[in-house]
Homo-oligomer: A and B are copies of this chain.
Amino acid sequence: MPNLSFGQHSLVSNMLSLAIAAMLGSFVFFTTSRGQLAPKYRPALVMSSIVVAIAGYHYFRIFHSWHDAYVLRDGAYVATGVPFNDAYRYVDWLLTVPLLVAELVAVLALDKATRGALMGRLVLAATAMIALGYPGEVAATTSTRLIWGTLSTIPFAYILYILWTQLAQAAAKNDEHVRVLLRNTQLLLLGTWGFYPIAYLMPVLGIGGADAKVALQVGYSIADIAAKCGYGVMIYQIARAKMAAEGDESGATAHA
């Protein structure tokens, strides 16, 4: 753990706290807005609620782990010897990433058979992606990190392939507005998920030190807020747009 300036330590601390606040705020939005959606779109919103609850918990732990890992001495932050626990992120992803892909399938409200098949494959691939990445994250050598990282990329590519082909096909039946929203959601997913492999490769590329460590934590926080809170809000908007297209704008038939 490299020593950090006061500003560096505070920046990470404040970004982690922002993530906790964003997850909490989104949780309140997703749980209390259930009644605005027709019943068939609610499972997607329920999944959003679960995702941000789990992520909020983990950011709370990460925040405290960050504070345990450093102590302020002579105006700078030095390592206490208690390691900063990055495993919280992996446990978080293991639980939330399968839910995030399932969410996108759920909001399409496809027929039962198509939905089940799509969801099963995506959830399995998402779980494999995270599980295969972790041994590389904790590996002592760069080559081991690269091997696991490469293995993890296979299910990652598979998820993107499914989202871009079969899901797009399923989405094509919707009207213009819904299709634009779905396309934006796919782009958000690609844009945010793109950060994680870059972060994973940083040690391989020899990027380290205090600045890199700070950039990594800030980047993770922003990516997680976008990929969980922002993504959940877009899923909600898709559901509302689909309701409008179906002539059910009120949500008045819907009881929370």
A14 an interface residue at 8 Å Cβ cutoff? yes
Which residue in chain B gives the minimum CB-CB distance to A56? B24
A18 to B36, CA, bound (A): 32
Q: Mark A88-115, 1 if CB is under 8 A from B, else 0.
A: 1001101100000000000000000000
Could you say how many copies of this chain the assembly holds? 2
A230 at the binding interface (Cβ < 8 Å): no
Is the CB–CB distance between A22 and B95 below 8 Å?
yes
Q: Tell me, yes or no, whether A81 is within 8 Å of chain B by CB.
A: yes
Q: Is A43 an interface residue (CB 8 A)?
A: yes
Closest Cβ of chain B: how far from A60's Cβ, in Å?
10
Q: Does A31 contact B (CB under 8 A)?
A: yes
Secondary structure class of chain A's binding surface, majority of residues: helix
What B residues does A82 contact at CB under 8 A? 72
* Complexed CA–CA distance, A52 and B65 (Å): 25
Taking the closest CB of chain B, its distance from the CB of A95, in whole angstroms, is: 6
Cβ contact within 8 Å between A49 and B35: no
Instruction: For the complex, give the distance between the alpha carbons of A82 and B73 in Å.
Output: 10
Q: Is the CB of A18 within 8 A of B91?
A: yes
Interface assignment of A193: CB less than 8 Å from any CB of chain B:
no
Beta-carbon contact of A53 and B24 below 8 Å: yes
Q: Which residues of B contact A24 (CB under 8 A)?
A: 53-54, 57
